Amino acid sequence: MLLRDIANPPTFEAIAKLLGVNDRSLRRQLRQQGFSFRGLHDELRTQLALKYLRNTTLANDDIALALGFSDAANFRRAFHRWTNKAPSDIRGE
């Protein structure tokens, strides 16, 4: 569900409704598995960012927009937080 539109993901409440559970129950189930909604969303964005950086020539601005960031600077900060690397480090691998 999050991958359908990673730049504009549905709310946690909307996902719970689509799954037919209340949001409190879904949050508890995620926590029991060691996950959080934000953590899952960030993990998906990390994996997509890595894919784009390794397999395309898209500019950081374009990757940022595709992943729901307002600009490349915010994308670079988040990417560094996720991976401890700069996007340019991945392109060079």
* pLDDT score of 1: 66
Domains of the chain: 2-91 (1.10.10.60)
Global confidence as pTM: 0.81
Q: What is the chain's mean pLDDT, rounded? A: 91
DSSP 8-state class, residue 10: P
Output 56 or 1, whichever has higher pLDDT: 56
33 pLDDT exceeds 90?
Answer: yes
Instruction: Tally Cβ neighbours within 10 Å of residue 52.
Output: 19
